[in-house]
Structure 1
Amino acid sequence: MKMHILNGGRLRMRKSVYLPEAERTETIDLPVSCVLLRHAQGNVLFDTGCHPDTAVDATGRWGAMAKAMMPLSGPEDNVVSQLATLGLVPDNIDIVVNSHLHSDHCGCNGFFKRATFFCHYKELEAAQGPDAVQKGYIPADWEHPMPTEAIDGEHDVFGDGRLVLVPLPGHTPGSVGAVATLSRDGSFLLAADAVAMRPNLDREVMPRNTWNPDLAMASLREVQRIAASGAKVIFGHDPDQWEEMRKGEDRYE
């Protein structure tokens, strides 16, 4: 199995959202990552990043949320353009895994019309709740007719232990991560927003946009356990880690 880290956009937010001790006026520019996993049984995309429309009219796509989570993306900073650099189009993707259904993680879902989607059933419930839009669930981004497998608990995508989805609730009710085991480069935990940045893990700091701090802390402990077993953690929005990682054609395998 091969793993490609792809640019799914870029956001500017208040730094205190993730690191509460920061000054309220201080901002931080955050990468949005998507991960392509090329398995012998099919191509899997873990998260689909921001929709290309956010690069030209973020408010039109996201409404008031665009003020708190300001897109900085250029016209090519989206997963569809990134796949094209690898010679792929959306119809080449067999499976899409949504770590959760916030718009910076599922914004390009609608492009993958031949894929089967995996999402935790509690996340689907949350996205359909009466106050879902206020909680960051934008129907234009997540609500599509493609088949969705609602998971509950760990799920081995191909049945060979190479890609296993793991529940990591707390940031949202149904957040999931994925453990990808590669032949040469070892195991990686795609943590998404269960652990947004390394300081959240190292210092056990809960971001302000955490839905349930107790569940989030339990998930952080699970991330620590998986990391202690040898897996490298890929954080949801860590700018320092983003600069260090191989990206695009420079794959892990």
Structure 2
Amino acid sequence: MNQNAVKRLYLMQVGSMPEYQIPIVCALVQTEDGKNILIDSGLPEIIPEEASDFENGQDVLEQLASIGLTPDDIDTVISTHYDIDHAGRHAAFTKAQYVVQRVHHEDAASNPRFAALRPQWDQPMERIRLVDGDTELLPGLTLIETSGHVPGHQSVLVRLPTTGPVLLTIDAVPFAAGFTRDAPDDGHNPDPEATHVSTFKLLDLVEREQISLVIFGHDQAQWAGLNTLPQFYD
């Protein structure tokens, strides 16, 4: 087995939008050689007034601590995008390299949508790895560029030794009901055409790779039935 092969995947619900019963989530990938790779970091510790519909639960730092990890143990943070419910604790991981799509990072610099969270995601460039399009981060872990929800959004494909391939759609497809070729535009994405293209791209990937576990970004019904930390998928 390749030394860098993925060993397990932890899923965490770190908060919610109570009004809509939507979970706010993160994930952790661990490799055979002991690397810890965080996918998103959840909500900020203090939620700004304009985002008062979000509510923190057990945050990512607490959940990592429950399996013996500190922020300094995180080697990489895959930043799917800089929305407040996905990048809220980025600044806590001071030893990590951040991996983000170049298009997204460059857009965020002047996009007011991401301004309130800038102290979290605007880290020194020597610690940010900008990628362009689909990228194999390491054997068993691939970033899938899925713009639409925001420019340069990325989903994540994790290949596990027992479970097989697992697709984390994140906000490219937040709910299972939208994972069809004829899903109507929900009005929540600035670029509906790109959203459709990304949805088709992920549907094609699932068919091609025969992916049996697709985890949607904010689907409460699905999340209620998933293994969540301290349980994991291997």
Q: Equivalent residue for 2:79?
A: 98
Q: Is 1:174 matched up with 2:152?
A: yes
What is the SS of the residue equivalent to 1:153? coil
List aligned pairs for 1:63-74, cutoff 5 A. 64=50, 66-67=51-52, 70-74=53-57
For 1:7, the equivalent position in structure 2 comes to: 13
Inter-partner Cα distance in structure 2 for 1:220 and 1:172: 13
Equivalent of 1:124 in 84, 102, 105: 105
Determine the structure 2 residue equivalent to 1:144. 123
Letter of the structure 2 residue corresponding to residue 90 of structure 1? P
1:132-153 per-position Cα deviation (integer Å, ceiling 9, x unaligned):
2246762133222361111002
Per-residue deviation, 1:200: 1.3
8 A Cα contact 1:199 1:205, kept in partner: no
SS in 2 for 1:37: strand
What is the alpha-carbon distance in structure 2 between the residues aligned to residue 52 and residue 135 of structure 1? 16
Q: Distance in 2 between matches of 1:147 and 1:207?
A: 36
| Residue identity in the other structure for 1:8 | V
- TM-score, normalised via structure 1 length: 0.83
Amino acid at match of 1:45: L
Structure 1 residues 124-170: Cα deviation after superposition (integer angstroms, max 9, x where no partner): 111111xx224676213322236111100221112x2x001110111
Q: Matches of 1:230 and 1:85 in 2, distance apart? A: 33
Residues 7 and 82 of structure 1 are in contact (CA less than 8 Å); yes or no, is this contact kept in structure 2?
no
Post-superposition Cα deviations, 1:79-114, rounded to whole Å, max 9, x if no partner, equal: 111101111111110000011111111111000000
| 1:24 aligned partner | none
SS in 2 for 1:221: helix
Contact 2:102–2:152 under 8 Å retained in 1: yes
Identity across matched positions, percent: 26
Aligned to 2:4: none
1:223 alignment partner, one of 202, 208, 212: 202
**Mean alpha-carbon deviation: is it higher for 1-10 or for 238-247?**
1-10
Distance 1:149 1:134, change over 3 A: closer
> How far off is 1:204 after superposition?
1.5
Match of 1:115 among 91, 96, 101: 96
TM normalised by structure 2 equals: 0.90
Question: Relative to 1, partners in 2 of residues 1:167 and 1:110: Cα closer, same or farther, differing over 3 Å?
Answer: same
Q: Is the 8 A contact 1:5 1:251 kept in 2?
A: yes
Give yes or no for contact 1:127–1:137 (8 Å, CA) kept in 2: no
What residue is the counterpart of 2:26 in the other structure? 34
Q: For residue 25 of structure 2, what is the amino acid of its counterpart?
A: S
CA contact 1:48–1:109 (8 Å) conserved in 2: yes
Query: Is 1:193 matched with 2:171?
Result: yes
Whichever residue aligns with residue 54 of structure 2, its letter is P
Q: Which runs of 5+ in 2 are unaligned?
A: 1-6
8 Å CA contact retained: 1:93, 1:115: yes
Change (3 A) 1:85 1:151: same
Q: Give the C-alpha shift of residue 209 in structure 1.
A: 2.1
Q: Which amino acid in 2 is paired with 1:171? A: H
Amino acid at match of 1:151: V
**2:228 aligned residue (234, 243, 247):** 247
| TM-superposition CA deviations, 1:49-87 (whole Å, max 9, x none) | 112222xxx32xxxx2x15xx11223xx21111101111
Structure 1 runs of 4+ aligned residues shifted over 3 Å read 134-137
Give the CA deviation at 1:226. 1.7
Question: Which structure dedicates a bigger proportion of its chain to helix?
Answer: 1
Per-residue deviation, 1:205: 3.1
**Please, which runs of 5 or more residues in structure 1 have no aligned partner?**
13-26
State the number of aligned residues.
223
